[in-house]
Amino acid sequence: MRLKILLIALASMAAACSSSSAETELASLDATVDASEEVAPAIDPTATAATPAPDPENTLYLDLSTGGRVAIRLRPDVAPNHAQRIKTLARQGFYNGIVFHRVIEGFMAQTGDPTGTGEGGSQLPDLNAEFSRLPHVRGTVSMARATDPNSANSQFFIMFQPRFQLDSNYTAFGRVIDGMEYVDAIPRGEPPARPARIIRASVAADNIPPPTAAEIAAFSTPQPSNDPVAAIDAALAAGDEPE
């Protein structure tokens, strides 16, 4: 079943939906959510000073083909099982080479599917929902799922702009704390014609250095979205990836 994130009351997305029963169910669920426009709360310029230093064990790094490293503060206090799943898959190398297969301007960038189609996931079991009031604002990282609330597995998305209608409907498990400009640079499309990729995902505590210039250049070369993952693994193996 294709994992979809709900687009609330966007007629253009409704027109683009397929006729599959799963997407019909999503459209029905969309209709039950208040689609009134909401404005992101003002950011207190003093809040950063009060924010504790990131915990390396709960900081995820995404090295992107768009040119840099994205740091994500994970929230095991809010979504412990989802935060642990992301760390487990990152440490397995699962996300290395995976494309951003669904990227919608003004909404979000979705990744985490090794098939690059939106239909795949990991071999690990699906997770039970850990919905919370953690807001879906710019930089929030949340888990994609099918119509079953307990169907999140490996796919996740990063918000470009607030969508508070997703709160308590999708499991938010973190937020970008550095490198959002590299997320903004991800090519748009469903799928993008020349998709961006995760070169490497890692946990900060493991002290994995950023990719070399050669690795970034290799992954920045436009590639079709249906490239075999094996080819990506080979590209990583040929570089200077740490043991």
For every residue of 80-141, DSSP letters joined together read HHHHHHHHHHHHHTTTTT-BEEEEETTTEEEE--TTSSSS---SSPPBPP---S----TTEE
Q: Which residues pair with 189 in a beta bridge?
A: 103
194: burial class by Cβ within 10 Å (0-12, 13-18, 19+)?
middle
List, in order of start, the domains of the chain with CATH numbers: 58-237 (2.40.100.10)
Per-residue pLDDT tens, the chain, 243 aa: give them.
555 554 443 334 434 443 343 333 433 334 433 443 444 445 454 454 556 788 999 999 999 999 999 999 999 999 999 999 999 999 999 999 999 999 999 999 999 999 999 999 999 999 999 999 999 999 999 999 999 999 999 999 999 999 999 999 999 999 999 999 999 999 999 999 999 999 999 999 999 999 988 888 887 655 544 444 444 454 455 444 333
Question: Could you give the CA distance from residue 148 to residue 121 in angstroms, rounded to a whole number?
Answer: 15
> pLDDT tens digits for 142-170?
999 999 999 999 999 999 999 999 999 99
Helix (H) or strand (E) holding 216, with range, is helix 213-220
pTM over 0.85: no
The closest alpha carbon to 189, from 98, 118, 109, belongs to 109
The closest alpha carbon to 103, from 16, 223, 9, 190, belongs to 190
Give pLDDT, residue 4. 54
Give pLDDT, residue 217. 82
